[in-house]
Amino acid sequence: MTKKKFTIADFQKYKNEGKKFSYVTAYDYTTASIVDESDCEVILVGDSLAMIMLGRDTTVGVTLDDMIHHIKPVVLGAPNTFVVGDMPFGSYNASIEQAINSCSRILMETNCDCIKLEGGVDYAPTINALVKAGIPVMGHIGLTPQTATSLGGFKVQGGTPESARQLIEDAKAIEEAGAFSIVLECVPTVVGKALAEEIKIPILGIGAGKYVDCQVLVTQDLLNMYGDFKPKFVKHFANIRQEMVNGLNKFHEETVNGTFPSEEYSFNKEVKISKL
């Protein structure tokens, strides 16, 4: 049975009813089609593609054109899953006009369901302007990879009373600006709980403990496709990297020993070929 596509209204409905939902990533058609067959409700096409798909050390450097290029096939591959398009660094930071133009491009050229952007109180006016322009916005606070250097690197955020309170103020500002949900990344469980309780819109947690409204993980992380790299908050729900290596090695083995292709995988029609 085809799953029913999640809507923006469902985000709030699930929070109000105390129902959890899941949120993963995809950056290509094939992965998106696999997620679409799963029960996961939401896909993010994140600027994390810089690290996962392009092998870079940071998300900074991905362009708006890069994001559009990757979001398009995900939308096509996952027609029954809510798709979020991430705003890359430099595409919304200069001005509200730039943000509206960039977000409009993503929505119009990819047909994704909303955009996500990083930033707290300082970006509330931008979020408000986007919402007034008819653009659905998902916020992102806590560890924000685009500005991780200024936060001291990829570290847990909200670890002091002052920084925890700032996250709550950021979330309130984003909520008041009109965002329909907020990604909260890499914070202590108690901070995730506090935000989920104080903020009316859904809190979507990645490394934010169990009390948030939704759990978010990168698909390549949760399926163990990276090998040795594993953030603390990631659980491996499958071991796909090793399964892929095993399959490739089996193909190599049967190629070398001549057992592949057998008749089953060959075109076996008899054809009379004249001698030269």
Alpha helices in 22-95 (DSSP H): 29-37, 49-52, 64-77
Nearest CA among 197, 64, 195 for reference residue 140: 195
Lowest mean per-residue pLDDT among 65-69, 148-152, 239-243, 258-262: 148-152
| Catalytic-role residue among 37, 176, 185, 253 | 185
Provide the pLDDT confidence category of residue 231 given band limits of 50, 70 and 90: confident
CA dist 102 → 85, 96, 97, 123, 203 (Å):
11, 10, 9, 15, 25
Sequence spans of domains, the chain: 8-239
**CATH 3.20.20.60 describes domain 8-239:** yes
State the pLDDT at residue 148: 47
Lowest mean per-residue pLDDT among 22-26, 55-59, 126-130, 203-207: 55-59
pLDDT, tens digit, 9 for 90 and up, residues 99-125: 999 999 999 999 999 999 999 999 999
Q: Are 203 and 217 in contact (CB under 8 A)?
A: no
State the pLDDT at residue 144: 75
Nearest CA among 91, 78, 85, 133 for reference residue 112: 85
Q: In whole numbers, what is the pLDDT of the chain averaged over residues?
A: 94
State the pLDDT at residue 160: 92
Provide the pLDDT confidence category of residue 262 given band limits of 50, 70 and 90: very high
State the pLDDT at residue 275: 84
Mean pLDDT of 212-239: 92
Cβ-based burial of 40 (10 A; exposed 0-12, middle 13-18, buried ≥19): buried
State the pLDDT at residue 1: 58
pLDDT, tens digit, 9 for 90 and up, residues 133-182: 999 999 999 987 665 455 555 578 889 999 999 999 999 999 999 999 99
State the pLDDT at residue 39: 97
Answer yes or no: 185 catalytic: yes
Nearest CA among 86, 145, 138 for reference residue 110: 86
Q: Are 174 and 139 in contact (CB under 8 A)?
A: yes
State the pLDDT at residue 153: 53
State the pLDDT at residue 241: 95
What's the pTM? 0.94
**Distance of alpha carbon 132 from the chain centroid:** 25
